[in-house]
Structure 1
Amino acid sequence: MIYDELLSLLSQDAVVVATVISTKGSVPREVGAKMLITCDRCIDTIGGGAGEAKVIAQAKEVLQTGEKRRIEIDLTGSPKRQTEGVCGGWMEILLERWQGDAAIVIAQQIIAELKLGRSLTLVTPFGDGHPYLLKEKGKRKKEKDSVAFIEVLEPVPILLIVGAGHVGEQLAKVAHLVGFQIAVQDDRPEWANSERYPQAAFIYSNIEQALEAFSNHLSLHVALVTRGYRYDLDALTALLNRDLPCAYIGMIGSERRVMQVYEQTKLMGISEDKLKSIYAPIGLDIGALTPAEIAVSIGAELIMLRRGGTGRSLSASLRNPK
């Protein structure tokens, strides 16, 4: 999480937070994307290339002066003016220096709330004034969008991997890489441990324990990659009876195995509507065979659902124009 990085850097010196605050057309990053710049380090990205180089250079000046800046990055590739790329769009970046005890306190509050699974609203005035958090959700003090950048910060999505076998081990690597906080559940300590799962922030021996820990988390994703039918059934029953619906439930297995689990859950009183929300067999159809390939296909499905993608090949529209 970028705010963990921010807090760590603030304990050493000032940090410029570069935030994408507006976009138009085709651009490499979305509104709210952030990059951290210090005198000798850059963390994350707002898109790379000449545009990012421009942001970094001006951020170094903001580090010295403390004066906020709003930078336009032209990616239209127009031959009539100097541009920073040819993606076809336009971005606006806000540079804000964070420094001192007040900034550390805000970063700590953000981290604490997000780790509890709560969303919160951060307001960054364009003029005088430092970033602050809204005390009551939905209230904006006196600021409007024209004088401040107002963003809702969402909790880091959690992926609970049920089943600590070969696929689970590879999935933890992939999902952690694309921004998920990892939790693992398995009743075998020789499989579910921090040595095999260094990415896991949480390891649980039973599904009830895991669901209790995340009972209030709004962005719980679950991948059922267990070693057998009985474990699928136990976990799925508990997940579908959760008071707060999961953001995603995917289950590994052949169509036959999936249908057997479904039939058993129906006999236990689980409605068909709930079963329709499950992604099973799990992952996108990319012809995956090995545990690592299967993990990539699951990771791709998680990204697709999180970002609103289609799973369609990006080259399809050029290869098969209408």
Structure 2
Amino acid sequence: MSDNWIFVLAQLQANRTPSVLATVIDDRGSTPRDSGTKMVVTADRQFCTVGGGHLEFQCARIAREMLGETRPGCRTERFSLGARLGQCCGGVTTVLFEPVIVALPHIALFGAGHVGKALVRILAGLPCDVSWVDSRGDQFPPQVDEHIKVIIDDPLDALDAVPADSYFIVMTHDHQLDFKLIEQILKRGEYRYCGLIGSATKRRRFCYRLGERGIGPDALARLRCPIGLEEVKGKMPAEIAVAIAGEIISRYNRLAALATDNTAACLEKRAG
């Protein structure tokens, strides 16, 4: 891979590899690299350089700590090269760390019916990873996109393996199975989105039963049912799928915007 950081980031994005961009934003005195120098760090590799030695070691360590965080935001670190790191140049360097390629949104879709099939066709073209779960293996198409992971298993058993902070979409062929899945997802609590296909009547019935099983009002308020953007009307599978995909896109774009705002806030704070 090239030592050009722009090319490196483009390659990592194409390969869906999370990384952190480390940029020298201030240099005072004798320092190994000037402001603007960049390094890209992944979980197991690093590209380009901010000067080598203990400084680079510490920058790589911080970046990998960020990669392990659920919701990484930007951060700055000031390094006194002589006093803190024991480097002979003895100047002061400030480094900005930006999670410019964070882990892609993970969507867990339960149900391979008509709407599920239509939805997967849309999700296949989006920057996300998808686990598609149904116990009925004959319901899946013979071929799916490479980042759609087909899981032929009992959905309740498969639920435990879904990563934290996923987007859950429940639309199985069985209302009772839908209920059990929603109950477990809400009890688990580690999700960015929990959507259930169905009507407002289905929601009222489910919420009443879930409340009897100890699910609190805050958790019930997070349940999306009916699912999908209200502005997108229609009852055809493709129309429902578009509405659901639109809602998911709006959710993860909102989170991406928050991350961008955090980066801007870091830079403003540094400039001030």
| TM-score class, shorter | 0.5 to 0.7
1:271 maps to 2:216: yes
Instruction: Show CA shifts across 1:289-312 (max 9, x none).
Output: 211111111111111122239xxx
SS in 1 for 2:136: coil
- Tell me the C-alpha RMSD between the 2 structures: 3.4
Shift of 1:288: 2.5
Does the Cα contact within 8 Å between 2:228 and 2:245 map onto a contact in 1? yes
- The residue type equivalent to 2:130 in the other structure is I
Alpha carbons of structure 1 residues 204 and 143: separation in structure 2 relative to 1, 3 Å: farther
Which residue of structure 2 aligns with residue 17 of structure 1? 6
1:300 maps to 2:226: no
**Percent same amino acid among aligned pairs?**
22
5+ residue gaps, structure 2, are 25-34, 43-59, 67-74, 81-92, 256-272
Work out the CA distance in 2 between the residues paired with 1:129 and 1:228: 53
Question: Normalized against structure 1, the TM-score is what?
Answer: 0.54
Which residue of structure 2 aligns with residue 123 of structure 1? 22
Which residue of structure 2 aligns with residue 259 of structure 1? 204
Does the Cα contact within 8 Å between 1:158 and 1:180 map onto a contact in 2? yes
Work out the CA distance in 2 between the residues paired with 1:130 and 1:250: 39
Work out the CA distance in 1 between the residues paired with 2:197 and 2:145: 19
> For residues 195-274 of structure 1, what are the structure 2 equivalents within 5 Å?
195=143, 199-214=147-162, 217-242=163-188, 244-274=189-219
Shift of 1:202: 4.2
Does the Cα contact within 8 Å between 2:165 and 2:190 map onto a contact in 1? no
5+ residue gaps, structure 1, are 1-9, 20-33, 38-42, 45-106, 115-119, 310-322
Alpha carbons of structure 1 residues 192 and 234: separation in structure 2 relative to 1, 3 Å: farther
Structure with the bigger RCO (C-alpha within 8 Å, sep 6+) is: 2
Instruction: Show CA shifts across 1:129-175 (max 9, x none).
Output: 6433531436866579x975521242211111111111111111212
Work out the CA distance in 2 between the residues paired with 1:176 and 1:269: 36
Work out the CA distance in 2 between the residues paired with 1:252 and 1:264: 17
Number of aligned residues: 204
Alpha carbons of structure 1 residues 297 and 233: separation in structure 2 relative to 1, 3 Å: same
Instruction: Show CA shifts across 1:8-28 (max 9, x none).
Output: xx4xx7776269xxxxxxxxx
- The residue type equivalent to 1:248 in the other structure is Y
Runs of 4+ in structure 1 deviating by more than 4 angstroms, as ranges, are: 13-16, 34-37, 124-129, 138-144, 146-149, 196-199
